[in-house]
Structure 1
Amino acid sequence: MLSRRLFLTAFAFASIAHAQSFPTKPVTLVVPYPPGGSADILARAIGIELGKKLGQPVVVENKAGAGTAIGAKAVAGAAPDGHTLLLGTVSSHAINPAMTKVGYDPVKDFVPVSPIAAIPFVLVAHPQFSAANIADVVKMARATPGKIGYASAGPGTSNHLAGELLASTAKVDLLHVPYKGSAPALNDVLAGHVPLMFDLIATALPNVQGGKLKALAVTSVKRSPLLPDVPTVQESGMGDFDVTAWFGVFAPAGTPDAVVTKLNADLTSIIQSSEMQKKLRDLGAEPETGSPVAYARYVREESGKWATVLRKAGLAPQ
């Protein structure tokens, strides 16, 4: 018993010492997407401020491909010392692993460090589509099963699965119309070829404000300050409906607790600053903070939720 206590004490001191010396070199923040997208923009904004806190530069490295699997797998196999981090997303840690073999376990191979932000979707419709809200869409779908179409960026994407979750929650049959990317999907909704789409609020906003689309509901738990008059899907009676494109920082499994705690404290301070709050909201994102334990629980819940949605949609391995 005494030897075990001595071991644990020595381990604790070693962990603290590691945290006190961390970082000893530049920190790499891997983004599993190409440059220029929401994840990349968020990572670079956060990375600059995190570098100031750590006293070492934070280098953003884009490792795109395989639906986020290439970048996530690279971080899962990195040294667990805090010097290699991942900007993880709902795709890398919930959707993609449930759809295909990604070469990593999103729960066992990572330590969730801190949430960063979440971007809600908004269900938009062509102005000539007669539905004015979610209740109207559900009523129309029940009257004409499989006839009310919604566009998406492709099978398994967040805006596709938002539609699948709505159909499952409301117990209706909607027609999924997949495209190769959000841009062509949105273009066909704007043209009136497909009536509906779950689009990220940041990209939908100009079209809603310009009268080219009408917003029926936002997919987050709370209303968006960008569209304060638009109700949430939950407000429309759809249970605990919650769909966001969320972003957070992850470290390889085995990273010392003291390092994770330090990173979480620094990231929380950064996210809570008024400058970063404004910057994130200007991007259409809602700032988020939380402890590593709470974030780990959230990631597990999201993983289970989307695995169920994918299975019902016939997109998960049986």
Structure 2
Amino acid sequence: MTTPLQRLRRALVLATAGAALAAPFGTAHAQAFPSAKPVTLIVPWPAGGSTDRHHRALAEIASKYLGQQIIIENKPGAGGTLGPSSMAMTAKPDGYTISQYPMGMLRIPHMNKVQWSPINDFTFIIGVSGYTFGFVVKSDSPHKTFKDYIEAARKQPGKIDYGSTGIGTSPHLLMEELADKAGVQLNHIPFKGNADLMQALIGGHVMAASDASGWDKFVDNNQMRLLVTFGENRTKRWPNVPTAKELGYGIVSQSPYGLVGPKGMDPAVVKTLHDAFKKAMDDPKHAEVLATLNQDPWYRTGEQYKSWAIATYAKDKLLIDRLGLAVK
């Protein structure tokens, strides 16, 4: 038989052990993602462009559903690959650092030697949207139509230039593909992003620009003329502007993008981020932002996004090989 004193001692031991077991759980629960600090979302383009505008709005809406602030960090360079690749190489896979993942991530490794894998070094979180690409000139340009621009290039091989948001980006490759089909030689000038490119065009430092819809306000203000777009159909916002497909080039480009983190992220953390951004995508305020940018939603789960990336990585190698841009 146990004495009352022994029973008291046993109860104290059990209570102490229970408290010891409960303390780590309580601490872990208190630090559950994303309670520790704000989440950093890397935008691999300069501030002010269409991608930056979209992600700042998306982050603001998603912060409400995540219960934690999402801070934008602009990290342009290397055709949009510097931000995501540096994140993959240096950030902890704890969910507090994520990045936009542009199409260049699946193309530039075919064109240059890189120290990262576009598939294996990332955790795919969610597919978000895709761009509306267009080709613009200044409003006082002698090229009134896209045909005028191509004819000028035919008469002056290599002397008619255009700028894009970087080597290997969709705006660059779609123009190289188009030039190949048209049988002309264009002079490509790469920039870090939309903001730099637009300044160069307004300043007369480049004849034309191939880019996503960051040129929208300049077109609407009659500072630039939109000559062609690259969607499946004409845009609702600029219905008088023909598509490249209409003009006989057969090129359609949307360039989907989404959000990724470093490899090895906890699936529970991925789900928390996915769910917050999915709610943000479904928010009416986000629909308004996409309408302003003339973009459509491109929702994919993390697994669907990864499967798409694997297939696109293989497919785009064929395009890059055909254009003679593959790394030797």
Aligned twin of 1:232 = 243
The 8 Å contact of residues 115 and 249 in structure 1, kept in 2 or not, is answered as yes
Aligned twin of 1:6 = none
Match of 1:223 among 198, 214, 234: 234
1:250-269 matches, within 5 Å, as 250-269=260-279
Query: 1: CA distance between counterparts of 2:184 and 2:249?
Result: 15
The 8 Å contact of residues 119 and 310 in structure 2, kept in 1 or not, is answered as yes
SS at match of 2:238: coil
The 8 Å contact of residues 230 and 243 in structure 2, kept in 1 or not, is answered as yes
Q: Percent identity?
A: 28
Query: 1: CA distance between counterparts of 2:222 and 2:35?
Result: 53
TM-score under structure 1 length normalisation: 0.74
Query: 2: CA distance between counterparts of 1:187 and 1:221?
Result: 28
Using the TM superposition, give the Cα deviation of residue 141 of structure 1 relative to its aligned residue in structure 2, in angstroms.
8.1
Query: 1: CA distance between counterparts of 2:42 and 2:227?
Result: 35
Q: Indicate whether 1:183 and 2:212 are aligned.
A: no
Using the TM superposition, give the Cα deviation of residue 218 of structure 1 relative to its aligned residue in structure 2, in angstroms.
0.9
Aligned twin of 1:108 = 120
Match of 1:30 among 36, 42, 45: 42
Using the TM superposition, give the Cα deviation of residue 251 of structure 1 relative to its aligned residue in structure 2, in angstroms.
1.7
Using the TM superposition, give the Cα deviation of residue 47 of structure 1 relative to its aligned residue in structure 2, in angstroms.
2.0
CA 1:210/1:29 → structure 2, altered by over 3 Å: closer, same or farther? closer
Runs of 4+ in 1 over 6 A off after TM superposition: none
Q: Indicate whether 1:46 and 2:61 are aligned.
A: no
1:56-75 matches, within 5 Å, as 56-75=68-87
CA 1:276/1:33 → structure 2, altered by over 3 Å: closer, same or farther? same
More divergent stretch after superposition (25-34 vs 175-184)? 175-184
The 8 Å contact of residues 116 and 249 in structure 1, kept in 2 or not, is answered as yes
Query: 1: CA distance between counterparts of 2:220 and 2:35?
Result: 48
Aligned twin of 1:146 = 157
CA deviations over 1:223-270 (Å, ceiling 9, x no partner)? 3232133232233343352154x4421022222334333422321221
Query: 1: CA distance between counterparts of 2:83 and 2:219?
Result: 34
Partner AA of 1:278 in structure 2: E
CA deviations over 1:279-308 (Å, ceiling 9, x no partner)? 233245443322223322333344345544
Query: 2: CA distance between counterparts of 1:145 and 1:306?
Result: 30
Query: 2: CA distance between counterparts of 1:315 and 1:105?
Result: 19
More divergent stretch after superposition (82-91 vs 141-150)? 141-150
SS at match of 2:133: strand
Using the TM superposition, give the Cα deviation of residue 38 of structure 1 relative to its aligned residue in structure 2, in angstroms.
3.4
TM-score under structure 2 length normalisation: 0.72
CA 1:262/1:220 → structure 2, altered by over 3 Å: closer, same or farther? farther
Q: Indicate whether 1:249 and 2:259 are aligned.
A: yes
Structure number with larger C-alpha Rg = 2
Using the TM superposition, give the Cα deviation of residue 278 of structure 1 relative to its aligned residue in structure 2, in angstroms.
0.6
CA 1:143/1:66 → structure 2, altered by over 3 Å: closer, same or farther? closer
Number of residue pairs matched by the alignment: 292
Query: 1: CA distance between counterparts of 2:304 and 2:246?
Result: 25
Aligned twin of 1:10 = none
CA deviations over 1:186-239 (Å, ceiling 9, x no partner)? 247x79x84x54243331x34444555543321123432321332322333433
Query: 2: CA distance between counterparts of 1:183 and 1:128?
Result: 15
Partner AA of 1:52 in structure 2: K
The 8 Å contact of residues 32 and 72 in structure 1, kept in 2 or not, is answered as yes
Query: 2: CA distance between counterparts of 1:148 and 1:101?
Result: 29
The 8 Å contact of residues 69 and 103 in structure 1, kept in 2 or not, is answered as no
Q: Indicate whether 1:279 and 2:275 are aligned.
A: no
SS at match of 1:288: strand
1:78-97 matches, within 5 Å, as 78-91=91-104, 93-97=105-109
Using the TM superposition, give the Cα deviation of residue 164 of structure 1 relative to its aligned residue in structure 2, in angstroms.
0.4
Using the TM superposition, give the Cα deviation of residue 55 of structure 1 relative to its aligned residue in structure 2, in angstroms.
1.7
1:116-131 matches, within 5 Å, as 116-125=128-137, 129=142
5+ long unaligned stretches in structure 2: 1-27
SS at match of 2:246: helix
1:145-184 matches, within 5 Å, as 146=157, 149-153=160-164, 155-168=167-180, 170=181, 172-178=183-189, 181-183=196-198
Query: 2: CA distance between counterparts of 1:37 and 1:240?
Result: 24
Aligned twin of 1:3 = none
